[in-house]
Amino acid sequence: MYEQTEDCHAWLGPLVTKLSSILGKGFEDVCYEVSVPTDSFFVSKLLFVNIVSNASSVEDDEANKRLKSVNVVVKKMPPETMQETMGFREQFHNEILFYQKYAQHHDRSPRCIYATEEPICDSVIVLENVATKRGYSVCKWKYDTPLEYTLAAFREIARFHVIGYKKKRTREKEFFDFVNAIQEFKFDKESMLRETFNVTATRSLDFLRRQGYDREFCDKLEARLANTYDFVLKFIEVEEPLATLCHGDFTINNMLFKKESDEQKVILIDFAMIRYGSPILDLSTFLCLHCARDLDKVMLDNVLRAYHDSLIQCLQENDIDGEDYSYEALYEDYKKKGLFGYFIATYFLGIQMGKFAGQVEDFAKIDPTEWAALLCQIGGEEVDEILANMLLKLKEFGCLDYIL
């Protein structure tokens, strides 16, 4: 985590002045308090800022005075050393694009108060703090997530995907103009992630061999996964009609929860990695990072069914025929692309489980060619075993049918 509170006031003071003019009457004269979130990890500079009006308002009589205050989340472009290595220029562009061109169609995302991406070094996004404003909070389970939270997350992402289906049908040109403005920074043929995927994808196979698992299977799969990144590029190719706007980084870190009428409600945050593609990109990422130990055919059947039930309900609420989005089509698409989340887990599960003693931004300090070797070591044999068992469960579900 950056030491963000010590050097932020040089740029935060002028920003608060600008925000006070946007907030309007009663905020002409303000002060502010700054804190740094500690209950999750963030790679961009992220601050909680409480803007307090110095002018009190009066209700009923002079004795009943109260201060106006607004709590916001401020996301600032990280240091220049990380901007190119980790694609932060593109990430900020995409998130600002989302809030300015798309969020009005999605009422369950934070309200964007201010955003600018010019100049690059001053790129900033200011959002309402939904934790203080609407009573949402982070999930304390970063992995081995209880089913209640998984189902809530899947119901919410189904709503998000339906918005894409609706806009694609009712505002086709506007939708694809938006999609075409999304900047790719993670998955292209020259990506520095190619080596990472190709190396980490096979980290569990030595564990399987040590356990006496079918050596022929292990050798054959290892040979196929030598070019794992080519499979990843195939997974993200657009295939209609299931393609929709995906969150792109659908993890527990990018959602907040609130218990309401005995049901978990979810709000999605952080739309920097949005992309147009299969909903399986979102679903498999969440399951392979947060349900890795529990992910088997029975669980997959249950959560995919819950997602699909919510999808159909939301489609009906938006007067869209669900014929093109059958459960059978979804099921087959998971078999075809479900390894996408697994490949991400091979390099990120250990970090998600807190097995990495450093900071995520430490990767910007080493040569990208060394990333894969470091990532393969995080979590050691414990993570290798989890990945190996998950791989066999995905094999049982049919996710290896398109590879072997």
What digits encode the pLDDT tens for the residues 6-35? 567 788 999 999 999 999 888 989 999 998
Please give the distance of CA 326 from its chain centroid, rounded to a whole number. 25
Which amino acid appears at position 14 of this protein? P
Backbone φ and ψ for 142, nearest 5 degrees, come out as -85, -20
What digits encode the pLDDT tens for the residues 150-160? 999 999 999 99
What digits encode the pLDDT tens for the residues 281-337? 999 999 999 999 999 999 999 999 999 999 999 999 999 999 999 999 999 999 999
**Least confident range of 8-12, 146-150, 398-402:** 8-12
Residue 4 within any structural domain of the chain: no
The whole-number average pLDDT for the span 208-220 is 96
What are the distances in angstroms from CA 202 to CA 102, 123, 189, 259, 387?
A: 38, 38, 20, 40, 10
- Are residues 179 and 31 located together in one domain of the fold? no
Angle between helices 339-352 and 280-290 (to 10 degrees): 40
CA 178 – CA 107 distance, rounded (Å): 18
- Categorize the per-residue pLDDT at 192 as very low, low, confident or very high, splitting at 50, 70 and 90: confident
Of residues 241 and 359, the one with the higher pLDDT is: 241
pLDDT at residue 364 in the model: 64
Of residues 86 and 217, the one with the higher pLDDT is: 217
Q: What share of the chain is helix, strand, coil (3-state, %, to 5)?
A: 50, 15, 30
- Are residues 94 and 64 located together in one domain of the fold? yes
What digits encode the pLDDT tens for the residues 223-276? 999 999 999 999 999 999 999 999 999 999 999 999 988 899 999 999 999 999
> What's 93's domain CATH number?
3.30.200.20
Domain range enclosing 103? 9-133
- Categorize the per-residue pLDDT at 2 as very low, low, confident or very high, splitting at 50, 70 and 90: very low
Q: Which of 103, 122, 126 is nearest to 114 (CA)?
A: 126
- Categorize the per-residue pLDDT at 4 as very low, low, confident or very high, splitting at 50, 70 and 90: very low
CA 46 – CA 272 distance, rounded (Å): 14
What digits encode the pLDDT tens for the residues 48-92? 999 999 875 545 444 444 568 899 999 988 766 566 667 888 999
| CB 396, CB 341: distance < 8 Å | no
CA 289 – CA 133 distance, rounded (Å): 29
Q: Which of 109, 133, 157 corresponds to the end of one domain? A: 133
Indicate if the pLDDT at residue 339 is higher than 90.
yes
- Are residues 294 and 337 located together in one domain of the fold? yes
- Are residues 380 and 256 located together in one domain of the fold? yes
- Are residues 167 and 85 located together in one domain of the fold? no
CA 135 – CA 258 distance, rounded (Å): 7
CA 334 – CA 280 distance, rounded (Å): 6
pLDDT at residue 65 in the model: 45
- Are residues 205 and 337 located together in one domain of the fold? yes
| CB 90, CB 44: distance < 8 Å | no
DSSP run (H or E) holding 277: strand 275-277
CA 38 – CA 344 distance, rounded (Å): 24
pTM of the model: 0.92
Residue 2 within any structural domain of the chain: no
Percent of the chain past pLDDT 90, that is, above it, reads 73
The whole-number average pLDDT for the span 350-359 is 88
Q: Which of 107, 133, 159 corresponds to the end of one domain? A: 133
Sign of CA dihedral 82, 253, 106, 341: positive
User: Could you tell me the two tokens for 125?
Assistant: 């996004």
Residue 31 within any structural domain of the chain: yes
What are the distances in angstroms from CA 258 to CA 252, 255, 265?
A: 13, 10, 5
- Categorize the per-residue pLDDT at 131 as very low, low, confident or very high, splitting at 50, 70 and 90: confident
pLDDT at residue 80 in the model: 66
Q: Which of 112, 133, 154 corresponds to the end of one domain? A: 133
Based on its alpha-carbon atoms, the radius of gyration of the chain, rounded to whole angstroms, reads: 22
Pick from 116-125, 129-138, 392-401 the range whose average pLDDT is largest: 392-401
List residues bridging with 66 in a β-sheet: 57
Count up the domains in the chain and report the number: 2
pLDDT at residue 85 in the model: 65
DSSP characters for 291-351? STTT-SHHHHHHHHHHHHHHHHHHHHHTT--GGGG-HHHHHHHHHHHTHHHHHHHHHHHHH
- Are residues 111 and 190 located together in one domain of the fold? no
DSSP characters for 61-113? EEEEEEEEEEEEEEEE---HHHHTTTTHHHHHHHHHHHHHHTGGG-TTSPPEE
- Are residues 185 and 148 located together in one domain of the fold? yes
- Are residues 216 and 335 located together in one domain of the fold? yes
> What's 240's domain CATH number?
3.90.1200
Q: Which of 59, 56, 83 is nearest to 69 (CA)?
A: 56
End-to-end CA, the chain: 41
**Least confident range of 73-82, 111-120, 154-163, 356-365:** 356-365
pLDDT at residue 371 in the model: 85
Q: Which of 392, 379, 34, 339 is nearest to 217 (CA)?
A: 392
- Are residues 112 and 205 located together in one domain of the fold? no
